[in-house]
Amino acid sequence: MSFTTQVKEDLTRISSSRTCCRRAEFVAFFLINGMIRISGGVSLVMQTENSGVARRMFTLAKDFSLDREVSVYRRSRLKKNQVYRLVIPPQAGISRFLEELGMLDAGDRWRFGFTDQIRGHFLQEPCCCRAFLRGAFLAAGSVAAPDAGSYHLEFNGIDREQADLLLSLLAEQGIPGKMLQRRDNATVYLKGAEHISDFLNIIGSHRSLLEFESVRVFKEVRNQANRLRNCDNANVNKTVAAAARQVEEISYIQRELGMKYLPAKLRAVAELRLEYPDASLTELAELSCLGRSALNHRLRRLEQIADNIRSYGVSEWNRSEARGK
């Protein structure tokens, strides 16, 4: 089962005790997902592939005292999924319902741009705003599983006016949504685990929220552990590389110049490094009875000497040393 389906199943199990909220949820679902059919009298049609969602909308429509029926059919093309169709057949209650939504005026004329009406009628209480977002998610929402690559939740296939309404409702809940618009189609989406978590909480998908959170925490801990390990590895690699370079440079001095020409203090360190090629700086410091920084300094000098021999030749190294290069 996809995470979206799981969230929707969660939502269909919520029992809303308040009529205001049940109405707000149904209105959101109808606005986004509903069609108005005019032939043979005005009827309302909503479709969903989720049987739980169909059942829920069937129940919620009762609050508008509308007779309704559900039928199932199989999509003939493509995926051949089952589709549940909720039909509210022609009846007197429909014009009252559409008037309440602000889609029809008192003279039975169609109206457009009815967001204010929806707000005034159905979204006066915070509880209803949350229920409206729930209905919108049931109609057009999807959310990536928390263990997927990135955190993403979206409302798809909505129009600009619906998108604006959703964005402002989300903003009122402290959730910043974003919008993408392509011709008549808009998408509202949320990024970031925290915002998605907040949203699941607000719409009441608590079981999925728990799963979302635990996967998210697991992921964060794992990422942190990975970061630490990479960091450790990087440090180890650096130490190993530095030691190998020192051994190489000292061997070069030994070959080209001979250890005996080195100042005694440097020679002691050079010989110690060759003896313990894998030792870390700290280990080498302990072996040499020097402080780390003194030891480090001497190792650097040795590398410098090798460098100078390479640049100026053996006979010149003393002079170049004297020049402090």
Q: Which residues would be at the binding site for Zn ion (CB under 5 A)? A: 18, 20-21, 125, 127-128
Decide whether 27 or 290 has the Cβ nearer to Zn ion.
Answer: 27
Half-sphere exposure of 218 (CA within 13 A, CB side): 9
Question: Which among 232, 237, 270 has a CA at the least distance from the CA of 251?
Answer: 270
**Least separation, in Å, of the C-beta of 128 and Zn ion?**
4
Contacting residues for 308 by C-beta, under 8 A, at least 6 apart? 316, 317, 320, 321, 325
Check residue 324 and give left, alpha or beta (phi > 0: left; psi -120 to 50: alpha).
Answer: left
| Contact between residue 159 and residue 184 where contact means Cβ atoms under 8 Å apart | yes
Provide the angle, in degrees to the nearest 10, between the axes of the packed helices 92-101 and 19-33: 90
Decide whether 18 or 325 has the Cβ nearer to Zn ion.
Answer: 18
Decide whether 21 or 27 has the Cβ nearer to Zn ion.
Answer: 21
**Least separation, in Å, of the C-beta of 127 and Zn ion?**
4
Give the CA angle between residues 277, 279, 284 to the nearest 5°. 110
Distance of alpha carbon 21 from alpha carbon 15, whole angstroms: 10
Decide whether 18 or 75 has the Cβ nearer to Zn ion.
Answer: 18
Task: List residues bridging with 73 in a β-sheet.
Answer: 83
Amino acid identity of residue 244, one-letter, is: A
| Contact between residue 274 and residue 250 where contact means Cβ atoms under 8 Å apart | yes
**Least separation, in Å, of the C-beta of 160 and Zn ion?**
26
Contacting residues for 56 by C-beta, under 8 A, at least 6 apart? 11, 12, 138
Distance of alpha carbon 113 from alpha carbon 124, whole angstroms: 18
**Least separation, in Å, of the C-beta of 5 and Zn ion?**
26
Decide whether 22 or 273 has the Cβ nearer to Zn ion.
Answer: 22
**Least separation, in Å, of the C-beta of 135 and Zn ion?**
12
Decide whether 16 or 308 has the Cβ nearer to Zn ion.
Answer: 16
**Least separation, in Å, of the C-beta of 118 and Zn ion?**
14
Distance of alpha carbon 268 from alpha carbon 255, whole angstroms: 16
Decide whether 122 or 212 has the Cβ nearer to Zn ion.
Answer: 122
**Least separation, in Å, of the C-beta of 126 and Zn ion?**
8
DSSP H or E run through 188: strand 185-191
Contacting residues for 36 by C-beta, under 8 A, at least 6 apart? 42, 43, 44, 45, 98, 103
**Least separation, in Å, of the C-beta of 237 and Zn ion?**
60
Decide whether 156 or 168 has the Cβ nearer to Zn ion.
Answer: 168
